């Protein structure tokens, strides 16, 4: 059990989108919370994103409502009205203002909510009484193989996060769906600044397949029930929660068998390091080499070379390693390559690239590419 922080309760249910799983979750706070959220930069977003952007703009939220297995994207004015009806129904059920409700949706694009089923459930929805984050994490899943939660303590306060997403993941200011709750008392400017910084170092450093979702949302709500905390310690604990979720998301990539961690250091700056690291972790040839336990470092070199605008990258200075084994420029002997094959067959693989330019660094997270990914996405709507 992952207990929700003080001041939060939840409700989960099946509202009929799919018969065999929970597909609806509401998280509600006892009173309005300090809140921050970031969203996808996709140009093809759904109303859950456009409405929630408006609702969180004042830095206050009291409830989060999530419908899974249906994205309600590209559904026109009717889909927008359905999303408003969802927010309004949740607000009336839990007793808060409609503009204090963040809504999120995930699933198939191009299909409206089964709005009659949504309205019927909201009309009779019981008072939220779930105090465990695990059922919430399960209710928001789509093709995830398991629910994803993480928690940490800071002073007398608790930070708890839930997340979902294993495909269509290449975040741009958010990632999939991720919700963080805390009972720490943190002023809005501090909460917003630190949350965005942590998101950039964690959720924005994960990629499964280079595809940015139309519905990506990451939000944090702070109830303040546990009182003030040291802000530096708060940010460290928040990062620990978000990094834990990031690693879970990458490890559970659709069809994935291996977590790939790519660290690029000695870059011009952190932005360049992340750009190069993302290019490596997103390369289908690198992903398939890892899947096949093939220490083909030439594919890593190829991926670095794709960053053609980074003219300060000098191949003669770059160092490429898999695990702790240097492969370029110093070649590995046959025994070292045999050891690497065994290493690559493990659950987690580190690729380490040093650009030898300056002090920039970044670590990103992804997964191997398997036939399971193809099968899952070939059959997704059928």
Neighbours of 342 (CB within 10 A): 9
Residues 6+ apart with CB under 8 A from 160: 2, 3, 4, 5, 133, 149, 150, 151, 180, 181, 182, 241
232: Cα separation from own chain's centroid: 23
Name the E strands within the chain.
8-13, 24-39, 60-70, 101-108, 148-154, 157-164, 177-185, 217-228, 259-267, 319-322, 325-328, 348-354, 360-367
CA–CA gap between residue 358 and residue 360 (Å, rounded): 6
| Separation in Å, CA 310 to CA 148, 166, 198, 261, 280 | 36, 30, 26, 22, 14
The verdict on whether 175 is a catalytic residue reads: yes
Per annotation, catalytic residue among 2, 75, 175, 212:
175
**The Cα angle at residue 224 between residues 191 and 154, in degrees rounded to 5:** 70
Residue with tokens 């025994």: 335
Residues belonging to the active site: 175
């Amino acid at each position: 059990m992952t207990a929700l922080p003080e001041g939060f309760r939840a409700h989960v249910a099946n509202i009929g989108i799919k018969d065999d799983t929970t597909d609806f979750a509401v998280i509600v706070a006892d009173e309005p919370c300090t809140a921050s959220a970031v969203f996808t930069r996709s140009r093809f977003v759904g109303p859950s994103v456009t409405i929630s952007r408006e609702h969180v703009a004042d830095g206050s939220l009291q409830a989060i409502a999530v419908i899974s297995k249906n994205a309600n994207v590209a559904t026109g004015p009717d889909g927008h009205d359905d999303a408003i009806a969802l927010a309004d129904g949740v607000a009336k059920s839990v007793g808060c203002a409609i503009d204090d409700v963040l809504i999120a949706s995930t699933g198939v694009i191009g299909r409206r909510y089964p709005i009659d089923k949504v309205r019927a459930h909201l009309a009779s929805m019981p008072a939220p009484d779930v105090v465990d984050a695990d059922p919430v994490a399960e209710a928001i899943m789509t093709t995830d193989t398991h629910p994803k939660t993480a928690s940490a303590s800071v002073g007398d306060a608790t930070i708890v996060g839930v997340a979902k997403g294993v495909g269509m993941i290449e975040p741009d200011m958010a990632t999939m769906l991720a919700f963080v709750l805390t009972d720490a008392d943190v002023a809005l400017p501090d909460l917003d600044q630190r949350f965005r910084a942590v998101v950039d170092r964690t959720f924005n450093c994960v990629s499964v397949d280079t595809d940015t979702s139309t519905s990506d949302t990451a939000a944090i709500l702070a109830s303040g029930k546990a009182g003030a905390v040291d802000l530096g310690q708060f940010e460290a604990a928040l990062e620990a929660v978000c990094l834990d979720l990031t690693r879970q998301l990458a490890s559970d990539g659709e069809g994935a068998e291996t977590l790939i961690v790519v660290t690029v250091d000695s870059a011009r700056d952190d932005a360049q390091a992340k750009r190069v690291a993302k290019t490596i972790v997103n390369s289908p040839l690198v992903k398939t080499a890892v899947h096949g336990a093939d220490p083909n470092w030439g594919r890593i070199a190829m991926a670095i070379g794709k960053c053609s605008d980074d003219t300060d990258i000098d191949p003669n200075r770059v160092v490429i390693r898999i695990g702790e084994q240097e492969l370029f420029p110093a070649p590995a002997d046959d025994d070292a390559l045999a050891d690497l094959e065994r290493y690559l067959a493990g659950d987690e693989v580190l690729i380490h690239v040093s650009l030898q330019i300056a002090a920039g660094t970044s670590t990103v997270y992804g997964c191997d590419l398997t036939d399971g990914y193809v099968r899952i996405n070939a059959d997704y709507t059928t």
